[in-house]
Amino acid sequence: MKESVIYQEIVQEVNEKGRIHEASLIARQIKCFIGGISPKLENRIQELSLKQLDDLGISLFDFKKEEDLVNWLDTLELS
């Protein structure tokens, strides 16, 4: 059953919905910590992988201003 195409599509859809939910939650948490963030930064957060979102969820506790988030996101692009 796990090898069926339909099963794999369902798993992929559930994973994507979970990633989108986590990205939205982290964006809201960042807004609570540093105030508002630009729509551009929200879009960058929405594009992160689940692993990157997990890392961001831990790192956000160190953010004091929007620039901290920008710097963190920029380090991903250098990797």
Q: What is the pLDDT of residues 18-61, one digit of tens each?
A: 999 999 999 999 999 898 899 999 999 999 999 999 999 999 99
CA dihedral for 66, 71, 74, 79, sign (positive or negative): negative
Q: What's the pLDDT at 1?
A: 66
Buried residues in 47-63 as b, exposed as e (16+ CB within 10 A): ebeeebbeebeeebeeb
User: Is it the case that residue 15 has pLDDT exceeding 70?
Assistant: yes
At 78, is the pLDDT very low, low, confident or very high (cuts 50, 70, 90)? confident
Number of domains in the chain: 1
Q: Are 27 and 45 in contact (CB under 8 A)?
A: yes
Owning domain of residue 33: 5-78
Model-wide pTM > 0.85:
no
